[in-house]
Amino acid sequence: MLKFCRASGLDPTQRSTMKAVRFHQCGGPEVLTYEDVPVLTPEPGEAVVAIKAIGLNYIDTYHREGLYPVDLPCIPGMEAAGVVARLGQGVEGIRVGDRVAYAGVMGSYAAEAAVPADRLVPLPDSASYQEGAAALLQGMTAHYLAHGSYRLGREDTTLIHAGAGGVGLLLIQMAKRCGARVLTTVSTEEKEQLARGAGADEVIRYTERDFEQDVMALTNGRGVDVVYDSVGQTTFDKSLNVLRPLGYLVLFGQSSGPVPPFDPGILSTKGSLFLTRPTMMHYTQTREALLERAGAVLEWIASGELALRISEQFALSDAAEAHRALQGRKTTGKVVLIPE
C-alpha cells in the first residue's frame, strides 16, 4: 500500500492551513473535494515544495477509484514542480528557493507537498514550472519503456497504443530517436495527426479498423517486436496476437480496466512471448537512475529534440473536471493543474 498520502503525519501544532484536493472515499471524479488542510511540516530528509504546477496522470484516477489502494483521506497526484519552501533535518544538496520538480511521490494536488529530498530533481532555468510538472512522470515512463523494459533499436518495429496521449507522444519520439519503426493506435483524425507529427510511421484508428489485422498486414504477417500497452483489458489479447515469436508485451497501464487472470501457458502457445508489468518506481530506485532518466528527458526538451505537448490547464479546484476530461478521452498530450 502506498504511504505518501499525508493526511497523517501532519504537525498538530500547525494552525495555518492550505488548499488541497482530497478524497475521503474511493469513487468517481465527484469524490474529489477542494478543501482546507493543515500545512505540512517536513520530516527528517524531506523538503516542503511550494507547488506551482501539477501533472495530471492516469494513475491518479486509479488511486481515486481504489484500483491501487491508498490510505484515506488522501491527497492524490504523483508529479509537480515548484520552489523549495522548507527543509527537514539532515537534508543536503538542496536549498530553500531552489526550483525543483518531482514524480512518483503522492500528494501533489495541493498548495504545498512534503517530498523526500532525494526524489527532487533540479529544474533548469530554461524550463517553466508547467514543463517541469508535465515532463517527469510521463517522460521518465517513456524513457524506461524505450531504454529499459525493452531496449529499442534500429531493427525493431513497435506498436504503441494510445499514441496521442501524454506518454504516447513522448514514447513515439523516443522510439524514433532509437531508430525503430513505429506503429500506433489512436481514436480520431485529430489524434492521428498528432501521432504523425510526433513521428509515427503508421497510425491505426482503432475506432474504425481492427488493429490486429492492420498490424499483421503492415508487418507482412511477422508481427512486431514489442507492444507498449497502457490500455489493458480491451487490447491485451490482440496485443499478444500481433507479437512475433519471442516478442515482448510491455503492459504499463489499464485505462480500459485491469486484465483478467489468464493462463501463462498462452505465452508459450503464441510464440514463447515475454510479458512484463513495469512501474517507474523500479526503474528509478536509486538517485543516480532518477537523475539519469530525468536529466535526459529535460535535456532533450531544452534542446528541442523532444517536443512536450501541454494540451490543457485546469485550476486545482477543477481537478474533478480534469479527471472527467482525461477519462473521457477528451485530452491529448499532457494536462496540468495550477494551484490558485
Average pLDDT value for the chain: 92
Higher pLDDT, 14 or 209: 209
Contact criterion met (CB below 8 Å) for 326 and 335:
yes
CA 104 to chain CA centroid, Å, is 9
**CA nearest 297: which of 157, 59, 122?**
122
Report residue 317 as a C-alpha cell.
479546484
Per-residue pLDDT of 2-49, as tens digits, reads 334 444 344 444 458 999 999 999 999 999 999 999 999 999 999 999
By DSSP bridging, strand 224-229 and strand 243-251 are parallel
229 close to 236: Cβ distance less than 8 angstroms: yes
Specify the range with the lowest mean pLDDT, choosing from 98-102, 123-127, 154-158.
Answer: 123-127
Cα distance between residue 291 and residue 289, in whole Å? 6
Whether residue 191 is predicted with pLDDT greater than 50 in this model: the reply is yes
Stated pTM of the model: 0.84
- What is the tens place of the pLDDT at every residue in 312-333? 999 999 999 999 999 987 877 7
Which cell numbers in the block locate residue 172? 513515439
pLDDT at 1 > cutoff 50: no
pLDDT tens digits for range 134-190: 999 999 999 999 999 999 999 999 999 999 988 999 999 999 999 999 999 999 999
CA dihedral 112, 113, 114, 115 (to 10 degrees): -130
Query: Rounded to 10 degrees, what is the CA torsion of 106, 142, 316, 304?
Result: 130
Q: Which residue has the cell 513515439?
A: 172
SS3 228: strand
Asked if 238 contacts 265 with a C-beta cutoff of 8 angstroms, the reply is no
Q: Other CB atoms closer than 10 Å to residue 239's CB: what's the count?
A: 28
* pLDDT value of residue 29: 97
Q: Where is average pLDDT lowest: 52-56, 194-198, 299-303?
A: 299-303
Whole-angstrom distance, CA of residue 46 vs CA of residue 116: 4
pLDDT of residue 5: 47
Q: Which three cell numbers stand for residue 17?
A: 492551513
